[in-house]
Every structure is written in structure tokens, then in C-alpha cells.
Structure 1
């Protein structure tokens, strides 16, 4: 699982060019705009219903003109109730025809990289090239114990896992002889030539992504200046990267802010408590009201005009042109559908 605000964490060589322009997608004013689904569980909601609703949100995003939909992975918590974003993406692929699907992110520390590569290759072929794999290191959470990968995989195994994943997605034979993986040469079936994107929440993961020529996914828990600093540190083309943002549109900015400040703490308080460390270390504390205030100030939360201006400001500050918008902030499915519809009808056209 990831740090709050983004499914977190971090080989190959060579810069990527146009990797995110999926077949059939519309590039809006130089920007690429998607949605970001946590499958968040608000009080009184049933996880199975949330997952079914998430698929409906992807369908609605396609109708509204969004370019892609990215799905988070979490385990054993209400912050997000989707343990397998590849499975949810597969269902959504079968319900859509144009929109791109991605994982934001699949956690490498708790699964075998080759098994994940096999799933990604399947989705690549079944979607006609609409699937993008996002991966991250995750955190020192109880998942490591439950799934048997252990704390060492998290603490020092991410680079080895990432390199093995890249090799398994190269379309050719793959073998391993490292600290955590060792097997004779074999061929991944079905084969697919794909390149992952990497969630970066630290200097170490940023360096790792840069060394392997992979673009970053940056979380909504940091502001424009911090994102810009990470882009500079990476050293690649800023337009290759992706930034997550909270997005909520209403008739006025005060109304949009008020709706989220009323709804989000009831989700975040128990949700963030679900991050249980595997080794007894203190769980990082978060001032939830202050965090919600931060999110509503720096992200596109407000009138349609305010939302559009905010995205343009972030793009100009960071150079990033691909945004994925977390649209579930009220926890009300009908209001989320309205949010997607209004963002598509009133914000996306303003960015052309």
C-alpha cells in the first residue's frame, strides 16, 4: 500500500517518447486528463458496491471525454478497497472502447514481478494497447507479512524487482540471479513490449526512475513546487510525467471546498488508520483537517473556471502535461458521476 495521497513508492535504458498517447485518445490542449480511482470506502458503504460503482465511473469518464482512468491498489483498509487494480482494469476494459486504463499503482514489494508482467501483457493485448502499468514500492505495511514477501523486499528489493519487471516486459527471454529472485531463462507468454511508469515519493525512487529512463507518477500529497523539484531532479522530459490531483467542481469555489471539507474527514480518519506497520514502528500521523485544507487549496477544487486555471498553473509550474484527477471526494456515487460529467463538459473544453 502507498503513503496517503498516492499509491506510493519507485531497468532498461532510453527516454520515452509519446509513451502515454494511447490509441483512440484525445489530447486536450497539449494536456492529457484522466481520472484516478481509489475505490474509497466512506462510512456505511459496502466494498462490493464500491467496486461495481468504480467500473461505472470509468464508463462515465469515457463518455465525458477523459483520456484515461487509473486505479489504485490497497489491502486490508477502507482508504481504498481495490486489492487488484489489474482485475478491475480488466473488467473496465470489457465495458469501454476508447479510454486508456492504468494502475496507480501496482505494488511491486508484495508480488512477483514476472507474474505482474504476465497480467500486464494480457491486458495490453485484450485492450488493444489501452493499458499502462504503473508500479510503486509501497510501504512497510502488514501486506508484506500477509503475502510473505517480507520487509527486506520493501527495504532493499525494489530496484531488483523493477529491473526484473522491465526485463519481463521486453518481449524476449528473462532470467534472474539476484538476492530476491533466481531462475533459469524462460519466456513470458503472452509476450508484450511495455514500459512501466513509477510512483515516486522520495529522492531514491526518483533517481531509480531517472536511471532507467522511466517517467514518474507524482502524488496529490505534494504541491506544485515540490512536483517541479522532482521533475528537475529526474532530468527527463517533464511532459512524460503524470501528476495526481484532487478534483471537484461546483457552481462556486466555496461550495466545492465546503462539500469536500464536510465529507472527506469521515473517510480519511479511519482510512489512514488502516496503514498498519509490519514491524511495530510508529505509524505516521496526519492532521486530517489540515490535510483536507491543503488538498482543496492546491488542487482543482472549485468553479469550472477555477479548476481549469489551477490545472494550467500546475502545468506551467511543473511542465507536466498529464493529470489524473481523484474524483471521489464526496463519497456519494451520484455526486461523483455528476463531478465527472461536469469536469468533462465544463473544464476539459476550457483546456483546449
Structure 2
């Protein structure tokens, strides 16, 4: 392992839960699997669990990441719970800010808020705002959210939101960490200008993520963000993890389940204005995910995570662990990730909870001072 990697900060490994409804499952089964993912991740010492939010599609059956986060913060004791993401385009920034502050305060600082622009889906028609909100309204919404989380009172006089000044209640002295899902250069620059870390999706590899980090740093410096903030930016790399005794076994587990879920989930998306959309080929996308991410035996998984950290400078990960589709198999995957992969990483902290469980030692990720799969942005 290179000298640069061993000198890095702790690699912090979290779970990413989409609450996807796989073929033949009910919504209740999908949500139960996500709850179990968070509980087991907390027991085994993972860094965080990140929750996705979708509407009207089986790709993900959680319509409110903050609501599910509230439940999971109550079910867990140590782990950070974040949204990846809460869609800001279809949510009033003040309403989301109130929810985020409430969760941050009530959980003792274990909540992180990941936000994103979202996509051109029918959600915009149902919840209002339309294409205008998607294409032009995100910066205004993001600034209003940040002012709410950082201020004592807030008013608005923008193109979309206008209201007299009101008191911020509940108010946290230090609000929750905020991250931005970025899939386009424009959104990278919006996040950078505000010094906000990025969530980078599982559909891209290390080279593109490294390019986006470099763009973020340049844009942040150009906007006058101070050097300490730039250096400390805690970006998150979203990926897929499937741990097995061999690479072929891990890949086969995903090949059996992921294409069916992707096929029905992606096909269900409807655009707001009838614009044409290109859907990824489910089989090809599954193969890509297996090539890019920690899918295989423990040492291969650890090596891929360390390589991503070295190539991109990102040391925090949100890994989709439910790719097998089943609750029991997902729980096993989370435990193997914690018990067998974390101790192989170049930098990890002392174990937590293994002795109480009577299992092999697990590596506990370091506590963090700032933290949320990205939607489009």
C-alpha cells in the first residue's frame, strides 16, 4: 500500500440504502430491509447510513428521507444518519430546514443533510414548481436553506420564495452538515461556491470523481472560500459493496438481483414534460457497478476502497449494500463489510462491539465533525 494512502485520514465506510423494491417484493419488505440495514450497520460500527428519496417508482419506495432518518435515529445509538438525498426542488427549503434542525438537535448531532437538484420527473408536476424550479431554482432554494440553518431569523424576497422575516425555531448553534449531490459541472460549482462537500454517485468511476473534486477545489478557491474549508471538505463517494468468498460469487449475487430491480425501477420514471429519456441497460449497468466498486472477497474490496481514496482524495464512502435484494443476505453483507473488510483498510480505528457480539473484531470508523445516491444535479 502506498505511503500516501497510509498517511490519509481514516477511511469511513457507511451504508447506502435505496429501499428498492425488487421484483416480487412488497413496499413493506423493501422498507424493512432498509431499517435492518441501519440497525446492523450501527451494531457493527459502520460510519453512517445514507437514505435515498424517490416518488412514484419502485426504484426506491422511501418518499421522505428525513422521515425515515427520524425513525432510524431512534433505532440506533452511534451511527450517523444522512439523506442522500432530500430533493430540494420539490421541497420548501424552510420546511426541510426545520426538519433537519429538529433531527440534528434531537439526535445529539448524528444527522447529516444531503440535498440535490433532482431530475425532470413527474414529481415536479405533482408537487409544483415545474421545469423552471429544476433548471433555475436550485441556487435560490439552497441559499434559503443555508440561511435558515445558520441564522436566527430569516425572510425571503427571491423569484420563487417571498415571505416576511420569521424566527428560526428550533435553532441549532451549529446546524447539521450539508452536502450537495453533484452530477454536472454546474452543480459542482454551486456546491463549491458555498464550500459545501459533494456526494458523488455510484454511476461514475475514480477518474471522473477525481476530476469533479479538482473542479470543486478550483471553483471554491475562485469564489474566495478559505483554504482550511477547501482542505477539510468531506466529500462522499457513493458505490456498491458486495462481499463474498470469491469475486465470481459476489458478482453473481448482484447479477441475479440487480438487473430486475433496475429494469422495473428505471422504466417507471416519467418525465414532467414528455422529454425523451435514455435508460441504462440494466445488465450493462450491473456489470459496470461490479467493475467500479468493492464487489468480491474482503481483500479485493479493501483494495478497491483504498485505491479510490488514493485516486480521488475522498475518504468517506456510502456503499449500496442491498444489491442482493434480500433482507437476510443484506444483513450478512453489512456484517462482512464491517468484520472482514474494514480491518484490511490502510487506516482504521479501534473495534467497537465485536466482543459483545462474540464475533470477529470490527473496525470502528472515527467520529466525524462533518458528514448524504445522489439524484441528478
Structure 1-normalised TM-score? Answer: 0.90
**Given the alignment of the two structures, is residue 98 of structure 1 paired with residue 98 of structure 2, yes or no?**
no
**1:239 deviation in Å?**
5.4
Question: Which whole-Å CA distance do the structure 1 matches of 2:332 and 2:167 have between them?
Answer: 46
Contact 1:231 1:238 in 2 (8 A): no
The answer (yes or no) to whether the contact 1:157–1:180 under 8 Å persists in 2 is yes
Which residue number corresponds to residue 268 of structure 2?
Answer: 274
Residue number in structure 2 paired with 1:71: 51
1:231-251 per-residue CA deviation (whole Å, 9 max, x = no partner) reads 000003375110101000000
* Aligned CA distance change for structure 1 residues 37 and 149 (closer, same or farther; 3 Å): same
SS of alignment partner, residue 240 of structure 1 = coil
Could you tell me which residue of structure 2 aligns to residue 219 of structure 1?
A: 201
Contact 2:73 2:81 in 1 (8 A): yes
- Report the CA distance between 1:286 and its aligned residue: 1.1
SS, match of residue 303 in structure 2: helix
Structure 1 partner of 2:318: 324
Runs of 4 or more, structure 1, over 6 Å off, are none
Normalising by structure 2, report the TM-score: 0.84
Cα deviation, 1:107-148, whole Å, max 9, x if unaligned, reads 000010000000001101111100000000001100000112
Paired position in structure 1 for 2:116: 136
Gaps in structure 1 of 5+ consecutive residues: 1-27
Answer yes or no: is the 8 Å Cα contact 2:195–2:233 preserved in 1.
no
Q: Please name the residue that 1:240 is paired with.
A: 234
- 1:216, 1:140 → 2: CA distance? 21
Contact 2:73–2:107 (CA under 8 A) maintained in structure 1 = yes
Give distance in 2, aligned partners of 1:288 and 1:53: 22
Per-residue deviation at 1:49? 2.6
1:336 paired residue number? 330
Say whether the 8 Å CA contact 1:198–1:214 is kept in structure 2.
yes
Offset from partner CA, 1:171-229 (integer Å, 9 cap, x none)? 32111111000011111210123241000000000000000110000000000000000
Q: What CA distance in whole angstroms lies between the structure 2 residues aligned with 1:277 and 1:301? A: 32
Shift of 1:54: 1.3
Match of residue 208 from structure 1: 190
The within-5 A match list for 1:260-299 is 260-299=254-293
Query: Equivalent of 1:114, from 65, 86, 94?
Result: 94
Tell me the distance in 2 between the aligned counterparts of 1:333 and 1:68.
19
Partner in structure 2 of residue 176 of structure 1: 156
**Aligned residue in 2 for 1:346:** 340
Corresponding residue for 1:3?
none
Query: Would you say the 8 A contact 1:239–1:322 is kept in 2?
Result: no
- Maintained 8 Å contact 1:79/1:268: yes
Give the equivalent residue in structure 2 for 1:40. Answer: 20
Q: Does 1:164 align with 2:144?
A: yes
Q: Give ranges in structure 2 of 5+ residues lacking alignment.
A: 1-7, 218-229, 349-377
Q: Is the Cα contact below 8 Å between 1:37 and 1:326 reproduced in 2?
A: yes
- In the alignment, the residues of structure 1 paired with residue 82 and residue 324 of structure 2 have an alpha-carbon distance, to the nearest angstrom, of 23
Aligned to 1:310: 304
Structure 2 CA distance for aligned equivalents of residues 188 and 176 of structure 1: 13
Q: CA RMSD for the aligned pairs? A: 1.2
